[in-house]
Amino acid sequence: MSDKKLLEQLRVDGDPKIADRDAAETFGWEKEEAYELFAEEMEALVELQKQLFADKSASLLIVLQAMDAAGKDSTIRAVLSGLNPAGVDINPFGVPTEEELAHDYLWRIHHHAPADGYIGVFNRSHYEDVLVVRVKGFAPEKVWKKRYDHIRNFEQMLADEGTHIVKIFLNVSKEKQKERFEERLERPDKRWKFRAGDLDDRALWDDYMDAYTDAIEKTSTDDAPWYVVPADKKWARNVCIARILRHHLEAIDPKYPEPEEGLDHISVPD
Amino acid sequence: MSDKKLLEQLRVDGDPKIADRDAAETFGWEKEEAYELFAEEMEALVELQKQLFADKSASLLIVLQAMDAAGKDSTIRAVLSGLNPAGVDINPFGVPTEEELAHDYLWRIHHHAPADGYIGVFNRSHYEDVLVVRVKGFAPEKVWKKRYDHIRNFEQMLADEGTHIVKIFLNVSKEKQKERFEERLERPDKRWKFRAGDLDDRALWDDYMDAYTDAIEKTSTDDAPWYVVPADKKWARNVCIARILRHHLEAIDPKYPEPEEGLDHISVPD
C-alpha cells in the first residue's frame, strides 16, 4: 500500500467510526515483511531526527492515547528507542498531583510542550480531561464540554508557533486487551503491571469508545490530526506509526544549519 | 581483561594522572570483537534498565565531561539509544541563562537530578563551574576553590537519598581533537557544528587538563567515583562505558515490584 493511501486510511476527518475499523488490520503485510519495512522507516527517521535536532526551528509532538494494554509503552520502546535520546522528550501524564489539580488542566501539559529540535511524546495527555474525566464523572458535563474548544485552540497556538502535532489513538480490540491482561497475570515478570482496578475501565469500554469518538471527531484538525492505528498486531502498528512520523518530519523538512561565516580560511593548530 | 580489572584501571582514586593515560588504549580488543562485546553489554543494560524503571527505588546519574569533540554526544547516541527512552533523561548544560546565573551554580543542576527509576545523563554539568569558570577566570579563585567541597557534599546527599552517581571524563588526545575538528570543517553535514571559538579552548588545553586533574582528584569518592575513559577509539570507549554502567546498575540490583495482593483469584471478564 502506498504511503499516501495508508495515511489517508489512518487519518481521521469527522467521525472516526472506531467500531468499523479492524484493530487487527495488517494492510496486506506479512510479519517478516513488516519488520523489514519498519527497519527502513527507522533508518529514515534517524536521519530526519538528526536534522530536526540540528536545525532547531521546529518540533514534533506525538500524543499517544489508548485503552490499557493497547501498547503505549511498547510503542515508545519500539519506535522511539533507536533515535538519539538527547532529542527525545517522553512525558507520561498520570493522575494529576495536588499542585497540578490546583491549576487548569492544560497547565501541566503546556509545561512539557517540546522545545525546537525535539520530538516530544505525551504518554496520555490533556485528552484524559475529556476521557476518564467524562466517563468517571470527575467533572460535570458543562465543564468538560467546553474543553474540546480549549484543546483545539491550544493545539492551534502550538502549531502556529512551530510545533507539528500528531495524535495517535492505538485501537486495540476488547478481545486483545483481555489476552494481554491475562498474559500480565500469568507472567511473573509482568504481573506487577496489573492492578485489579484495570478491570474497572474495561467494564466501561463502551463509554470510553463514545468519549474517544467525540474527542477525536471534535479535535482532529489540519494542523493537529488524529490517526487511528490498529494495535492488535504490534508489528503492523509499528510500521504505521513510523510512517506517520516520517510523513510529518518530512513536512517539517529540517535542514542542517548554515556553518558560521569565515570558516574557509581556518586551520586547526597543533 | 576481566570486568573488575578494567573498572579498577578506569576508576580514579587520587591524582587521575591524565597525561600518563593512553587516550587510544584498546585493552587488547580488536574492533570487531569490541562491537560484539558492546552488543552483549547493551543486552544486559536493556534488561537492567527495565528492572530499574519498574522498581523505582533508585536512580542512576551519569555525569559526562570532556573537551570538545571528545565524543559526549556520540557516547549518548551509542550507549543510551537502544534503552527505553521513557526511562532516560538527558540534560545538556550549556552557557547558563540569566535566570540560572541569578542562582547558585547547583540550582539548575539540582532541578534535573534523575527521579527514582530513571537513568539521568548530564552532558556537561556543575563541573563546568570549576573548569571553564576557572580556566577563563569567570569567577575568582576564592569562589571556585570552595566549590569542590560543595560538589562533594551535594553529590553525597544525592547518593544518600538513592541516586547512584557515575562520573565519566572522556579522555581524548589533543591530536585526535585536531583530526575531528578538521573532519567537521571538511564535511558539509558536520560543518555547522564547528565554531571558530572552539579553537580558544583548544589553545588553553594545558590549563583545562590542570583544572580537570584538580576537579577529578578532589571529587572522586566511593559514592560518586570518576572514571577516565580513553576516547580516541569510539568502539573501545563504548565497551568501557557500557561496562561501567552495567557494574553500577548491578550494584543497585533493581527488582520487579511485588504484584498487588489478591490477584490469584482474578479473571478477566469478556
- Quickly state the pLDDT bin for A179 (edges 50, 70, 90): very high
Q: What is the pLDDT of residues A101-138, one digit of tens each?
A: 999 999 999 999 999 999 999 999 999 999 999 999 99
pLDDT of residue B89: 97
* Residue of chain B whose alpha carbon sits nearest to that of A78: B84
Q: What is the pLDDT of residues B36-65, one digit of tens each?
A: 999 999 999 999 999 999 999 999 999 999
Among A20, A2, A3, which residue's Cα sits nearest to residue A228? Answer: A20
Cα–Cα distances (Å) from A134 to A211, B51, B124, in that order, read 7, 34, 45
* Residue of chain A whose alpha carbon sits nearest to that of B175: A270
Buried b (16+ CB within 10 A) or exposed e, B218-227: bbbbeebbbb
Residue B186: pLDDT over 90:
yes
Determine the average pLDDT of the residues in A70-93. 96
Q: Cα(A41)–Cα(A35) distance, rounded to whole angstroms?
A: 10
Residue B169 near residue B237, CB atoms below 8 Å:
no
What's the full length of chain A, in residues? 270
A17 grid coordinates? 467510526
* Residue of chain A whose alpha carbon sits nearest to that of B266: A196
Query: Domain limits of chain A?
Result: 3-253
Residue A265: pLDDT over 90:
no
Q: How far is B3 from chain A (nearest CA, A)?
A: 27
Determine the average pLDDT of the residues in A146-161. 97
Among A76, A50, A44, which residue's Cα sits nearest to residue A63? Answer: A76
Contact across the interface for A259 and B77, Cβ inside 8 Å: no
DSSP-derived 3-state class of residue B171: strand
- The Cα angle at residue A62 between residues A206 and A47, in degrees rounded to 5: 140
pLDDT of residue B262: 87
The rounded percent of chain A whose pLDDT value lies above 90 is 94
Q: How far is B37 from chain A (nearest CA, A)?
A: 19
Tell me whether B78 touches chain A (CB under 8 Å).
no
Determine the average pLDDT of the residues in A175-201. 93
Tell me whether B84 touches chain A (CB under 8 Å).
yes
pLDDT of residue A155: 97
Tell me whether B88 touches chain A (CB under 8 Å).
yes
Q: How far is B145 from chain A (nearest CA, A)?
A: 31
The rounded percent of chain B whose pLDDT value lies above 70 is 100
pLDDT of residue A70: 97
Among A248, A92, A161, A223, which residue's Cα sits nearest to residue B115? Answer: A92
What H or E segment, with its residue span, contains residue A183?
helix A174-186
- Quickly state the pLDDT bin for A43 (edges 50, 70, 90): very high
Considering only CB atoms, which chain B residues are within 8 Å of A259? Answer: 191-192, 194
* Domain B3-253 CATH superfamily: P-loop containing nucleotide triphosphate hydrolases (3.40.50.300)
DSSP state of B124: S
Determine the average pLDDT of the residues in B53-80. 97
Residue A69: pLDDT over 90:
yes
Q: Cα(A47)–Cα(B91) distance, rounded to whole angstroms?
A: 22
What H or E segment, with its residue span, contains residue A171?
strand A163-171
Determine the average pLDDT of the residues in A3-32. 97
Q: Cα(A119)–Cα(A59) distance, rounded to whole angstroms?
A: 6
What H or E segment, with its residue span, contains residue A212?
helix A205-219
**Locate cell 575538528: which residue?**
B181
Residue A188: pLDDT over 90:
no
What H or E segment, with its residue span, contains residue A48?
helix A31-55
Q: Cα(A147)–Cα(A151) distance, rounded to whole angstroms?
A: 6
**Locate cell 572552539: which residue?**
B198
What H or E segment, with its residue span, contains residue B65?
strand B59-66
Mean pLDDT of chain B: 96
pLDDT of residue B172: 98
Contact across the interface for A181 and B81, Cβ inside 8 Å: no
Residue A99: pLDDT over 90:
yes
H-only helix segments in chain B: 3-10, 31-55, 72-75, 98-101, 107-111, 132-135, 141-144, 147-160, 174-186, 198-203, 205-219, 234-252
Find how far residue A64's CA is from the centre of its chain.
Answer: 3
Contact across the interface for A199 and B88, Cβ inside 8 Å: no
pLDDT of residue A189: 84
Q: What is the pLDDT of residues B104-130, one digit of tens each?
A: 999 999 999 999 999 999 999 999 999
At a CB cut-off of 8 Å and minimum separation 6, what does A19 contact?
A209
Q: How far is A253 from chain B (nearest CA, A)?
A: 15
pLDDT of residue B1: 77
- Quickly state the pLDDT bin for A256 (edges 50, 70, 90): very high
Q: Cα(B132)–Cα(B137) distance, rounded to whole angstroms?
A: 8
At a CB cut-off of 8 Å and minimum separation 6, what does B258 contact?
A192
Residue A253 near residue A60, CB atoms below 8 Å:
no
This model of the complex carries an ipTM of 0.88
Residue A85: CB atoms within 10 A of its CB come to 25
Q: Cα(B169)–Cα(B189) distance, rounded to whole angstroms?
A: 27
Contact across the interface for B257 and A192, Cβ inside 8 Å: yes
pLDDT of residue A232: 98
CA-atom Rg of chain B in angstroms: 20
Mean pLDDT of chain A: 96
DSSP state of A204: T
Considering only CB atoms, which chain B residues are within 8 Å of A262? Answer: 196
Of A82, A185, A260, the CB nearest to B194: A260
Determine the average pLDDT of the residues in B127-154. 97
Of A192, A196, A257, the CB nearest to B262: A196
**Locate cell 494495535: which residue?**
A231
Tell me whether A115 touches chain B (CB under 8 Å).
no
Residue A220 near residue A127, CB atoms below 8 Å:
no
Residue B264: pLDDT over 90:
no
Contact across the interface for A194 and B260, Cβ inside 8 Å: yes
At a CB cut-off of 8 Å and minimum separation 6, what does B262 contact?
A196
Contact across the interface for B191 and A86, Cβ inside 8 Å: no
pLDDT of residue B160: 96
Q: Cα(B124)–Cα(B42) distance, rounded to whole angstroms?
A: 23
Cα–Cα distances (Å) from A156 to A118, A124, A150, B85, in that order, read 18, 19, 10, 27
B93 grid coordinates? 548544560
Q: Is the dihedral of CA B195, B197, B199, B201 positive or negative?
A: negative
N- to C-terminal Cα distance for chain B? 56
Contact across the interface for A92 and B85, Cβ inside 8 Å: no
